[in-house]
Amino acid sequence: MEYRELTVPGAFEITPKQFGDPRGLFLEAFKAGPFADAVGHAFDLQQANCSVSAAGVVRGVHFADVPPSQAKYVMCVSGAVLDVVVDLRVGSPTFGTWDTVLLDDVDRRAVYLSEGLGHAFMSLEDASTVLYLCSTGYSPGREHGIHPLDEDLAITWPTTARDGTPITPLLSEKDEKAPTLAEARTQGLLPTMEAVGAFLAAQATKP
């Protein structure tokens, strides 16, 4: 596997080696040792989620309270999505910035995002299937969102699907009602760089 840190610190693009023959192909989707070497800490898998989305569907920007927040290891096992990581850590030098990775069933890359970061994606093909490995289980009371079309955040969403047909963002009712980044900061919903650092430092000292 090849690991590349994104412009948002704490987020990585992971590109696996694929081994194919006339029967199909094989790849290692996750490997604990190389992951910890590249990222700097282990990944504690506590829950795995799967979503299937029509072309144009946008999910996110989602994040969770720190502690414990929720780190994610994200793969698109079928179809294609534009995956987006957003730095929501107040006090971070890159606060409010975002980066993207194309996840699809061709290169079969994955994205890892650490605690305190926001996650979203747009489906570029009908029935795009995304698998999320999560460091904590779902807890509605501590999970939040930022409106993915926030003009100040200014994420550049695709306007065409993988087959070239036009698409427009399709949001859930919950994501439609999500606050802007500025509103979430004013409301005290966002994690701080200090809290994230303290949490990760505590995790590193665990046996």
DSSP state of 159: S
Per the DSSP assignment, residues forming a β-bridge with 62 are: 119, 145
Q: Pick the catalytic residue: 3, 62, 73, 119?
A: 62
Strand order in the sheet with 80-87: 98-104, 80-87, 117-123, 58-64, 143-145
CA distance 115 to 84: 15
pTM across the whole model: 0.95
Residue 206 or 14, more confident: 14
* Residue 42: pLDDT over 80: yes
Of the pLDDT bands very low, low, confident and very high (cuts 50, 70, 90), residue 129 is very high
pLDDT tens track for 51-109: 999 999 999 999 999 999 999 999 999 999 999 999 999 999 999 999 999 999 999 99
* Residue 6: pLDDT over 80: yes
Q: What is the mean pLDDT of the chain?
A: 96
The amino acid that residue 110 corresponds to is A
CA distance 116 to 189: 11
CA distance 15 to 33: 15
Q: Is 112 a catalytic residue?
A: no
Of the pLDDT bands very low, low, confident and very high (cuts 50, 70, 90), residue 204 is confident
CA distance 102 to 55: 14
Residue 182, phi then psi, degrees to nearest 5: -65, -40
Q: Is 132 a catalytic residue?
A: yes
Q: How does DSSP assign 115-150, residue by residue?
A: TTEEEEEEE-STTEEEEEEESS---GGGEEE--TT-
Q: Which helix (H) or strand (E) holds 195?
A: helix 193-204
Residue range 20-34: mean pLDDT, rounded: 96
pLDDT at 27: 96
High-pLDDT (> 70) share of the chain, %: 99
Q: Which helix (H) or strand (E) holds 20?
A: strand 18-21
Q: Pick the catalytic residue: 41, 112, 132, 138?
A: 132
Closest CA to 103 of 129, 141, 136, 70: 129
pLDDT at 191: 97
* Residue 140: pLDDT over 90: no
Domains and CATH numbers, the chain: 2-204 (2.60.120.10)
Residue range 6-14: mean pLDDT, rounded: 98
DSSP SS3 for 47: strand
CA distance 11 to 114: 6
Residue range 23-27: mean pLDDT, rounded: 96
- In this structure, of 14-23, 36-45, 165-174, the range with the lowest mean pLDDT score is 36-45
pLDDT at 14: 98
pLDDT at 13: 98
pLDDT at 132: 96
Look up residue 90 and give its two tokens. 């107040």
* Residue 46: pLDDT over 90: yes
High-pLDDT (> 90) share of the chain, %: 92
Question: What's the chain's length in residues?
Answer: 207
